[in-house]
Amino acid sequence: MKRFELIVGTAIVIAFSTLILSIYTHHQQVIQQEKVELQKSAKKKSLPKSTSKDSGLAGDEIQAATTKSKKGEMNPVNWKKSSEKKAYPDLDKYSKAFLKVSIAKQRVYVMNGEKVLYTMYASTGSHESPTPTGTYKIQAERGDFFYNPTSKEGAKYWVSFKDHGIYLFHTVPTDKNGKFLEDEAEQLGKEAQSHGCVRLAVPDAKWIYEKVPEGMKVEIH
């Protein structure tokens, strides 16, 4: 009887030891797997933020590609043609549309909130007669042609934004007969050379004349 009890006791000890060993082995495997997962996670977090997995381009390359794409939408500067290759925006679809003029860049941006819808080459006021900066609104006055005998220059497709007919968006300048002054026109998008108005390519000015409503905000900086 004692011998039988000894055998049973030994069997129980062996079984218990085997169970403990199995639990310990499984626990070690779990710990090892967690270490592997943590290492993988750490590698992912340590990747440079400028790397794009989908495109295979580094951040600087992505920026360059984006810039190239945006530049690719612009036509070469030509006062006879629209500034961009794409169609002008339909302003009826944009509730936050306004015009933003950049004197530093010699550009007019058709905006909707923070989004640029269209970019136009421009020529703003010279140092002697600068374009006023600030926030204004498109005024009621507009027309298809004017001529100023004092400056001996005129323009087509003009729209007032300040002082009711004094500060305008309009085409590159013309003579009294409506003929464009090509030497002046060639400075579009390159040099601030107007008498305070914002000069534009002929199609761009025509679009503003026809499509931009009275009351639209104008920001100039």
From the candidates 27, 195, 197, 221, which is the catalytic residue? 197
197 in catalytic set: yes
55 Cβ neighbours under 8 A, 6+ residues apart: 62
192 Cβ neighbours under 8 A, 6+ residues apart: 103, 106, 123, 124, 125, 126, 127, 130, 131
3-state SS, residue 158: strand
3-state SS, residue 121: strand
Question: Encoding tokens for residue 158?
Answer: 């003009």
170 in catalytic set: yes
Element housing 134 (H / E): strand 134-137
Question: Encoding tokens for residue 54?
Answer: 């989908």
The catalytic site residues sit at 170, 197
